[in-house]
């Protein structure tokens, strides 16, 4: 009895020792997953549609493929042909191996291999010979794979790694290259061909050995009839189809953006915010319109969804593989011409030194040694600010910039997230009003989306699911609403005042621009839901005499808006505090006539000597403690011609004189922009933070 117990004890410990040894060996020598991890980087639209894929580091088209991306007919045929008991076995199908051995003994040659899909994955991960040693290694690795991964994961490995001829690996890469479609759309004949190909990927490669590919495919179809996977009629119909005789190019949509993202993100799969349908429409439009240019000009185009700031279409150029085609024209800084003028007016509106109904003089004017001229060389005389911006007059724009300040203007754009390029390292000067700086198409689209969203600029979102970028104040909602109202009234280009131009599905506010020497033609505009930006020019920056933004860019912009889904949001309401007037005379006196500050109308001696207003409290940059109760704070200013008008975040607080001081009750903690304007239109601003002391 004792000997028997001793033998059982020894046997038990021996078995446990073997088990521990196997576990140790398994953990010390896991399957090599390098090939499965060396994938083709892919960039997709927000719905998963492939925009562009890249070769893997070892030069293969190896695109990750899951069972959910492949049609059920292909999966049924694959398992019926390669591994009927895939869902039941644990990596090794004993019945299949016994059948294969019996067939070999009976016929003298291999009839079926007996390898499971898991064993084939093991061989694809670690290629080795077909002898006994190689088969044994397959069995061991298959057991390890089954221990570590689910059936779906193992099937995904096969669908990704299966050899499909040449440098094509995996069902998705083969389907895209041979049939130009995703594997979810494969028909019976196409599915059968891709089931057969891994059996002999060199000899049955359809683009080189069409007859062998046809024979292999038909063999699979015949087997499917035998196994009752399909009817004989369906198989006969599939057998009448041909096989592809050439490989098709891989998808190449938004190639410039995809290239930049792959370099930056260094991930195998990047899901962007692009809308596949809008992107395809934008690319078709750009190629169609480029065909009308016979001087080597190209087109770039950007579409933004205003509410989310999602980039939904991006065309960096129309001929990626052509000469200079890989230059991303939507990311390159170019001179915007007059396209930034709305932001000069927006800052002036925000500072209460200008109103759309203010009168201005468009006449020959010198600013030191700078004497700009209007585009047509003529002058319009007395105009309103609305007319000056809609007609893109140069003299009024420079006058307004002279008042706002070139440095303040460019800093406002940069603080909003725009990347500006200047021709020299000196401080910005007045020529920036007419395009004397560089900005990219994507950045100018970002700025115009800020106008559409109440003056709040925000970096564009390109990666799906990325958090919202911080918002930056360009100007207040009143100034933004004034700009919308003005730009909505810009006249359509020639040929658009009739026909399709009359049938406006949406209200579009837009502005065009032409750089010095006709090098760049721009058109940028927004509706309630979308912002579109268009650039037309040559990649090398050479002039295109006679080509202007209004004629080259605006029609493309309007056509792109016509391809977008209808707007869902209504136009924003008139913000509180906006001055809605029917005539200039209804404006406050200080806003009726806009003049250069150093040529303001003469005042009585005692008034003319008054300095401009300067805020004494709250001082700029201060942290102001909130009162313990709802007591109001008193704003104070020195200088200025009474009455003084105070604004908080662009909303008027009221006009006050020395006998009626200005009081303000904070609504809570946060940053506040306080502005004071005197009767002559001179102003001062301070930005402060209200904070509760604890």
Q: How far apart are CA 497 and CA 506, in angstroms?
A: 15
- Nearest-angstrom CA–CA distance, 323 and 592: 54
Give the separation between CA 183 and CA 212, rounded to whole angstroms.
Answer: 22
With 0-12 / 13-18 / 19 or more C-beta atoms within 10 angstroms meaning exposed / middle / buried, residue 19 is: exposed
Q: Which residues pair with 212 in a beta bridge?
A: none
Q: Give alpha helix (H) positions in 429-553.
A: 441-452, 477-487, 549-552
Does residue 530 sit in helix, strand or coil?
strand
Specify the DSSP class assigned to residue 351.
T
Angle at which helices 151-161 and 117-125 cross, to 10°:
50
615, two tokens: 């805020």
How many CA atoms lie less than 13 Å away from 243 in the CB half-sphere?
A: 23
> Are the C-beta atoms of 284 and 290 separated by less than 8 Å?
no
Residue 540: count of CB within 10 angstroms of its CB: 10
Q: Do 347 and 408 touch, CB atoms closer than 8 A?
A: yes
Burial of 153 (0-12, 13-18, 19+ CB in 10 A): middle
Q: Which sign, positive or negative, has the C-alpha torsion 267, 269, 271, 275?
A: positive
Q: Pick the catalytic residue: 82, 169, 283, 289?
A: 82
> d(Cα 270, Cα 287) in Å, to the nearest integer?
26
- Sign of the CA dihedral running 577, 582, 587, 591: positive
Are 333 and 438 spatial neighbours (Cβ–Cβ below 8 Å)?
A: yes
Coil vs helix vs strand at 608:
helix
Give the integer Cα–Cα distance in Å for 691 and 396: 41
DSSP H helices, 266-418, are 276-290, 341-350, 385-390, 394-404, 406-415
114: nearest Cα among 143, 88, 140, 85: 85
Active-site pick, 40, 115, 191, 338: 338
Q: Give me the torsion for CA of 346, 348, 351, 357, rounded to 10°.
A: -90
Cα torsion angle, 199, 205, 209, 212, sign: positive
At CB < 8 A and 24+ separation, what contacts does 319-322 make? 319/290, 320/252, 320/255, 320/256
d(CA 628, CA 79): 75
Pairing outcome for strands 61-62 and 471-473: unpaired
Please confirm, yes or no, whether 82 is among the known catalytic residues.
yes
Residues labelled as active-site residues: 82, 338
């Amino acid at each position: 009895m004792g000997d028997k117990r001793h033998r059982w004890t020894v046997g038990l410990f021996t078995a446990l020792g073997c088990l521990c040894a196997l576990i140790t060996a398994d953990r010390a020598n896991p399957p090599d997953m390098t090939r499965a991890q060396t994938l083709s980087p892919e960039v997709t639209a927000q719905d998963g549609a492939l925009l562009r894929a890249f070769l893997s580091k070892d030069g293969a088209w190896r695109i990750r493929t899951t069972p959910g991306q492949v049609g059920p007919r292909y999966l049924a045929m694959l398992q019926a042909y390669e591994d009927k008991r895939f869902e039941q076995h644990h990596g090794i199908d004993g019945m299949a191996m016994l059948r294969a051995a019996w067939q070999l003994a009976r016929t003298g040659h291999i009839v079926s291999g007996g390898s499971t899909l898991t064993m084939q994955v093991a061989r694809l991960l670690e290629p080795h010979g077909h002898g006994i040693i190689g088969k044994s290694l397959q069995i061991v690795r298959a057991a390890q794979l089954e221990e570590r991964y689910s059936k779906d994961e193992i099937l995904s490995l096969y669908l990704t790694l299966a050899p499909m001829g040449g440098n094509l690996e995996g069902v998705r890469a083969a389907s895209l290259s041979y049939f130009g479609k995703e594997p979810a759309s494969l028909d019976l004949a196409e599915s059968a061909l891709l089931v057969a190909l891994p059996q002999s990927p060199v000899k049955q490669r359809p683009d080189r050995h069409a007859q062998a590919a046809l024979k292999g495919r038909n063999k699979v179809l015949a087997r499917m009839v035998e196994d009752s996977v399909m009817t004989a009629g369906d198989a006969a119909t599939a057998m009448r189809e041909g096989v592809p005789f050439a490989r098709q190019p891989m998808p190449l949509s938004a190639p410039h953006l995809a290239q930049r993202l792959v370099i930056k993100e260094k991930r195998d799969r990047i899901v962007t915010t692009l809308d596949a349908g809008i992107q395809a429409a934008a690319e078709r439009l750009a190629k169609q319109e480029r065909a009308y240019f016979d001087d080597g000009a190209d087109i770039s185009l950007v579409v933004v969804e205003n509410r989310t700031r999602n980039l939904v279409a991006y065309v960096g150029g129309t001929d990626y593989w052509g000469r200079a085609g890989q230059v991303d024209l939507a990311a390159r800084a170019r001179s915007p011409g007059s396209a930034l003028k709305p932001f000069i007016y927006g800052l002036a509106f925000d500072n209460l030194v200008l109103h759309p109904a203010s009168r201005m003089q468009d006449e020959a004017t010198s600013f030191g040694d700078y004497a700009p001229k209007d585009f047509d060389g003529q002058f319009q005389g007395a105009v309103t600010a609305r007319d000056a911006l809609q007609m893109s007059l140069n003299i009024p724009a420079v006058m307004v910039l002279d008042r706002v300040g070139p440095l303040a203007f460019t800093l406002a754009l940069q603080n909003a997230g725009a990347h500006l390029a200047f021709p020299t390292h000196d401080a910005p000067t007045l020529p920036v009003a007419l395009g004397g700086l560089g900005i990219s198409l994507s950045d100018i689209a970002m700025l115009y989306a800020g106008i559409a969203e109440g003056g709040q600029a925000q970096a564009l979102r390109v990666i799906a699911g990325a958090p919202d970028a911080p918002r930056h104040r360009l100007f207040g909602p009143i100034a933004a609403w004034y700009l919308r109202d003005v730009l909505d009234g810009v006249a359509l280009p020639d040929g658009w005042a009739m026909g399709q131009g009359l049938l406006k599905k949406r209200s579009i506010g837009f502005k065009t621009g032409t750089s010095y020497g006709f090098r760049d033609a721009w058109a940028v505009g927004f509706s309630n839901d979308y912002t579109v930006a268009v650039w037309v020019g040559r990649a090398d920056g050479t002039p295109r005499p006679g080509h202007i933004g209004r004629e080259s860019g605006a029609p493309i912009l309007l056509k792109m808006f016509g391809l977008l889904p209808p707007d869902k949001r209504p136009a924003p309401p008139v913000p509180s505090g906006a001055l809605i007037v029917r005539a200039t005379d209804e404006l406050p006196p200080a806003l009726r006539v806009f003049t250069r500050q150093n040529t303001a109308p003469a005042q009585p001696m005692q008034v003319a000597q008054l300095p401009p207003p300067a805020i004494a409290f709250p001082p700029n940059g201060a942290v102001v403690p909130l009162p313990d109760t709802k007591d109001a704070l008193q704003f104070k200013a020195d200088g200025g011609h009474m009455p003084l008008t105070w604004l908080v975040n662009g909303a008027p607080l009221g006009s006050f004189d020395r006998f009626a001081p200005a009081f303000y009750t904070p609504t809570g903690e946060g940053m506040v922009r306080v502005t004071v304007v005197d009767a002559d239109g001179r102003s001062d601003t301070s930005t402060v933070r209200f904070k509760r002391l604890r």
